[in-house]
Structure 1
């Protein structure tokens, strides 16, 4: 269900979030890496003072926001979920995306846990602990923005900011029952965010509602805040990508997706099957090694020579693969990707969006994956398969929670690069219809 809009003073809501974080029976000690308690209280008090004077800075003013542990904050090391960086030199400049949030009155409550160096969709972290899924604490939260999704779903923050390289906002959003946005890559500056893949990284929000995601996205993109105009579902053209992206679905995912399609069809949405034959050349282009592995091998080359044993073994193995890929294969993949991006954009011109399950599976148990590399790899591939398509083709996408019983399931809308505003308007209408 969609949570109501924030009510009450910013300070009162902040204190409620801090209480949730401090609850010894909760996940605050695993979801949050660092707290900014006193700074957040000062920011909340300032927002309340502005509100009393009628001088509010807009809809983000006084909202409680957590940020992923890969954004630079002056005076502290950016650890990116790794023990390798605990003693790194402190940042001197704040990440632009975070600076824009502060300027809009956001109350930054703390940094959230993540997969080490953002390199998996599972969310397991052996260094700082793995926050349990809000629906079942024995299960993974999804990654890599794991702690952020848990912080919102558990009421430790109202909005959280993550990164998305192959689904890292949308996967945990789907598994934790909230909304996760991957904007067009160019919209939000990635400067000051520890990179995984220069080619694929993007910065996006997670929240309980599409509206909150839209507000945070606009602020980080440096846009004027404006209401989210309503879109009618009647006549909306959504393509269902039959084939690979609908294969091997968990029974719960298949049921939830089919039920969602039925609701959308009754709401007047025009649904059409789309074979998406561009997926095969995408897999061929990256067959020698994914961009994230190759580019991560470059980013971590010095540490790999001296401190390879300090990496999470599940992350280290993926980076090691990137170290073996010849430069000529990487160049081929980049040039081929540029061709395929243009082809996919042309393919989507007759559709408003694609609609598909965000992930093929619901959240597996932490214990089943943490010490079993084969099980981890299988689950990671199934979690990344659907959302990573949007990153490769440089599209924008959003995951919405489905009103299902049991473990959370997400449905994803994907559309053309640069059509973010249209995507958000459609998503708001779809979320309303699904939760009616």
Structure 2
């Protein structure tokens, strides 16, 4: 199915960008992949990120499909469309920014925008074999993005290369320093996260890619990962219910989304208070570790994306976000980069986590690794 819910021709003659359908484009409905929002009026104005792209002379190519209400991670959407994963047609594209990742992977556009509340940029990027960045929380404007209120959600870019991510960030984040993101000759210190529960081949591929780049590596630990993963979900549920709970019972939601949304209403204040305590503790732990290293490295996904058929038959997949969701809770920037996985047609996702407001550094490190992989491939 198509990655786009609508094709557009807005802006100038610069790079073509696809925009997730939870981001406002003036004159067009923002339906967030949901039949329940089919009757909303067209947006009165562009989201700030869209305005920045147009003002820079870039072209808006269209709005991309997504997991309904950004409340799911498979990318399956029988109403708005399930985009094809160009890496492996039989596997899920990942969500919730499924269409944006798939559009870049298929070469329909060079750059796309998505949103990431619990892994929704990094997960589909890793599924589809492209680069995706969740910026530092708050660094990129969310004005004109749905839901309007979120303590976790970030707007960020997908691209085929790290250079595309840097170019997009230089437009949508006014304080982003593209020159600093290009300083790839620094003596970067990498903290390779230990005790990660992931497929052994993926773990080996991630470490091999960092070593191929010749970066200084030390093994590090983050004891709070599991607690942060668990604590982020009540926050997501509470805020999603507040934004979209009124759509339940209308007959417009897919059954899986309706079921999860109804379950989300049960989050209580005590559960939220505990989540906030975990947020503070985990954020402090990550901050402390990043005083010792320039970036933390770990896989993006603990295993390869499952097949569409398996997910439709009920295979649980929430655990696929175990390595990405914690950094939504903490607010740190995180980038996923595709790396070779020996013996597999698909690529693995290597995740880099950096200091807050130093998104440029993880882009520079990612570019180092990307260049080393390209050189190794050319030599073999």
Task: Identify whether the pair has TM-score above 0.5, normalized to the shorter chain.
Answer: yes
1:151-201 per-residue CA deviation (whole Å, 9 max, x = no partner) reads 111111110000011111111111111100110011111111112870110
Partner Cα separation in structure 2 for residue 360 and residue 75 of structure 1: 40
Decide whether aligned partners of structure 1 residues 285 and 69 sit closer, same or farther in structure 2, where only a CA change above 3 A counts.
closer
How far apart are 1:331 and its partner, in Å? Answer: 2.9
Q: Residues 197 and 296 of structure 1 are in contact (CA less than 8 Å); yes or no, is this contact kept in structure 2? A: no
TM-score, normalised to structure 2, is 0.92
1:129, distance to aligned residue in structure 2 (A): 2.3
- Provide the residue aligned with 2:101 in structure 1: 149
**Contact 1:117/1:196 (<8 A) preserved:** no
Q: 8 Å contact 2:206–2:349 — kept in the other structure?
A: no
Q: Count matched residues.
A: 372
For 2:164 and 2:29, locate their aligned partners in 1 and report how far apart those are by CA, in whole Å: 29
Does 2:204 align with 1:261? Answer: no
CA contact (8 A) 1:215 1:225 kept: no
Taking a change above 3 Å as real, the CA distance of residues 356 and 365 of structure 1, as seen in their structure-2 partners, is: same
TM superposition shift of 1:285: 4.2
Which deviations, in whole Å up to 9, do the C-alpha atoms of 1:84-122 show, x marking residues without a partner?
A: 111112211210011001101111010001000111221
Runs of 5+ unmatched residues, structure 2: 376-380
Distance 2:283 2:48 in 1: 27
Q: Distance in 2 between matches of 1:319 and 1:193?
A: 19
Post-superposition shift, 1:264?
A: 2.7
Q: Which residue of 2 aligns with 1:354?
A: 296
Q: What is aligned with 1:429?
A: 368
> Partners of 1:294 and 1:90 in 2: how far apart?
27
Q: State the Cα distance separating 1:123 from its structure 2 match.
A: 0.7
Structure showing greater radius of gyration is 1
Report the equivalent of 1:229: 182
1:63: which partner in 2?
15
User: Is residue 197–residue 292 contact of structure 1 (8 Å, CA) maintained in 2?
Assistant: no
Alignment RMSD = 2.0
**Matches of 2:267 and 2:243 in 1, distance apart?**
15
Equivalent of residue 4 in structure 2, options 26, 32, 52: 32
Could you give the per-residue CA deviations for residues 375-431 of structure 1, whole angstroms, max 9, x where no partner exists? 1xx22x232111112111111010011134412321111112111111111111111
| Distance in structure 2 (CA, Å) of the matches to 1:434 and 1:224 | 26
User: What TM-score comes out, normalization by structure 1 length?
Assistant: 0.81
Tell me which protein shows more helix as a share of its residues: 1
Q: Structure 1 340/357 Cα, relative in aligned 2: closer, same or farther at 3 Å? A: closer
Counterpart of 1:21? none
Residues in 1 aligned to 2:163 and 2:78: alpha-carbon distance in whole angstroms? 34
Deviation of 1:263 after TM superposition, in Å, equals 4.3
| Residues 1:247 and 2:197 are matched in the alignment | yes
Aligned to 1:407: 346
Secondary structure of 1:262's partner? helix
- Shift of residue 301 of structure 1? 2.5
Q: State the partner residue of 1:219.
A: 171
Corresponding residue for residue 278 of structure 1:
224
Which moved further from structure 2: 339-348 or 202-211? 339-348
Distance 2:264 2:280 in 1: 20
The corresponding residue for 2:378 is: none
**Cα distance in 2 between the residues matched to 1:267 and 1:431:** 8
1:391 correspondence with 2:328: yes
2:259 corresponds to: 317
328-337 or 400-409: which moved more? Answer: 328-337
The verdict on how the C-alpha distance between 1:224 and 1:277 changes in structure 2, with shifts beyond 3 A counting, is: closer
Alpha-carbon spacing, 1:271–1:196, altered in 2? closer, same or farther (3 Å) = farther
| Residues 160 and 205, structure 1, Cα contact 8 Å, conserved in 2 | yes
Residue in structure 2 matched with residue 55 of structure 1 by the alignment: none
CA distance in 1, matches of 2:229, 2:83: 32
Q: Is contact 2:74–2:92 with CA below 8 Å preserved after alignment?
A: yes
Structure 2 equivalent of residue 18 of structure 1: none
Counterpart in 2 of 1:124?
76
Contact 2:104 2:110 in 1 (8 A): yes
In structure 2, how many angstroms separate the alpha carbons of the residues matched to 1:262 and 1:349? 24
